[in-house]
Structure 1
Amino acid sequence: MKNSIILGISILLLILYVWDLKKHKLDLRSIITVGIFSGISYILYIIQFIKYPQGGGISLFSMVPVMLISMMYGRTVGLTGGLVFGLLKMLNGMFVVHPAQFLLDYILSTMGIGLACTFGRESKSKIFAGCLFAVIVSVGINIISGAVYFGQYAPEGMNVWWYSFIYNASSAGVEGVLCAVIVSILPIEKFMNSRYVKAYKS
């Protein structure tokens, strides 16, 4: 039952994304941008400082490029960048126990990073809040996956949700907060005023 519910919600979210993509179609310039930034995210992802035994860990701020394109180009480009980043992560190995778990871990969690633009970019506090929101969504999805599909790795007598929270918050959560700090101190407005971004917006 829980697998069907998770799978149904995941598919619904993807349908909403496709609907959004139809309303905000990506041109060649934005597709290239997504490819470049997602590729950079993947390169940073494979440079891991800490690697956890059941997967995940802390990498070289791999969320930053996806957060940046979300800030500069908006939600649709950000979500697409997160989607491509998730697909690229599979090149470094993947572990799938159920289609719903695959969607949570390799599709929706990285797409969540693309929500960094949620609160706008008018101030550094809004930028940080948006990036933090994206991290909460992304890590929250990982926590659900960990509790539902990998609870058997929890120490005996430990609540699986608490185990999954600690596991994911101490890895992707820590990295995500650091990435949010980095993006919030970057000169986003200067990026926005670049000829490349202006050409995309026009």
Structure 2
Amino acid sequence: MSKSNSRVLILVEIAVIAAFAMALEYVPHKTGISSIEMSYGVIPITVLALRRGPGAGMAAGLTWGVLDIMLIGFGEGSVLNPIQGFLEYPIAFAVAGLGGLLYGRFQAALKAGKNREALGLAWGAGLIGVLAKYFCHFLAGWVFWGSYAPKGTPAWLYSLVINGGSAVATGILTVIVVSVLMTTVKKPLFEPKDGGQLLSQH
């Protein structure tokens, strides 16, 4: 496959994954605990980041964030001001693809047949994406949503509890689903035939 065709294929994958992540936002994702919810879209973003590298993962995350703020964020009143909106949507959703930083080691482990190492790296990638995303939400919760904290509760602690709980729930789910995918559809899902990544220099 030529470089141009490979790049087009990657862009298509980015668009499909972003749309899929956005569609998952409409699936019930509350944990039963007030304000704590799971972000299912981190899972397909992690898969793409491991398949195509951090550039593709973050591009899909950014697209997802833009879709989310337009289709849900504005309508639900979740955007208080431009800075908070930018931090909690385009930025937070884009950094969910940072798990792609492990792309090189992950692909090398797959090619070498080191399945346990590859699985560990996949877990690491998922958790990096989750932590990066929810760190942005934690900052926004501390700075912009602090007035919603119960009386006597510091804004930073309120944000840490809410966003930390969501991060833990999302992280556990991501690790479980990625583990299942690694043991069932590993090759077609994580190993593209063209072997390309969005920001490849080769």
TM range, smaller chain: 0.7 to 0.9
The one of 13, 24, 28 equivalent to 1:44 is: 24
The answer to whether structure 1 residue 145 and structure 2 residue 136 are counterparts is: no
The higher relative CO (CA closer than 8 Å, separation ≥ 6) is in 2
Instruction: Summarize deviations over 1:37-75 as a string: whole Å, max 9, x none.
Output: 11111111111231899977335x221111110010001
Q: Which consecutive unaligned segments of at least 5 residues does structure 1 have?
A: 1-25
Identical aligned residues as a percent: 23
The one of 162, 179, 187 equivalent to 2:157 is: 162
Instruction: Summarize deviations over 1:132-153 as a string: whole Å, max 9, x none.
Output: 1111111111000000000000
Retained in 2: the 8 A contact 1:29–1:200? no
Aligned length, in residue pairs: 173
Which residue matches 2:124? Answer: 129
Classify 1:38/1:142 alpha carbon distance in 2 versus 1 (closer, same or farther; 3 Å).
same
TM-score, with length taken from structure 1: 0.76
The answer to whether structure 1 residue 108 and structure 2 residue 103 are counterparts is: no
The one of 49, 54, 66 equivalent to 1:75 is: 54
Deviation at 1:97, TM superposition (A): 2.0
Which residue matches 2:3? Answer: none
Helix, strand or coil at the partner of 2:38: strand
CA distance in structure 2 between the aligned counterparts of 1:105 and 1:56, rounded to whole angstroms: 16
Classify 1:180/1:39 alpha carbon distance in 2 versus 1 (closer, same or farther; 3 Å).
same
More off after superposition, 30-39 vs 91-100: 91-100
RMSD: 2.5
Retained in 1: the 8 A contact 2:42–2:129? no
CA distance in structure 2 between the aligned counterparts of 1:172 and 1:110, rounded to whole angstroms: 13
Retained in 2: the 8 A contact 1:132–1:176? yes
The answer to whether structure 1 residue 191 and structure 2 residue 171 are counterparts is: no
Deviation at 1:33, TM superposition (A): 0.7
The answer to whether structure 1 residue 176 and structure 2 residue 159 are counterparts is: no
TM-score, with length taken from structure 2: 0.76
Question: Letter of the aligned partner of 2:156 in structure 1?
Answer: W
CA distance in structure 2 between the aligned counterparts of 1:53 and 1:89, rounded to whole angstroms: 22
Question: Letter of the aligned partner of 1:65 in structure 2?
Answer: P
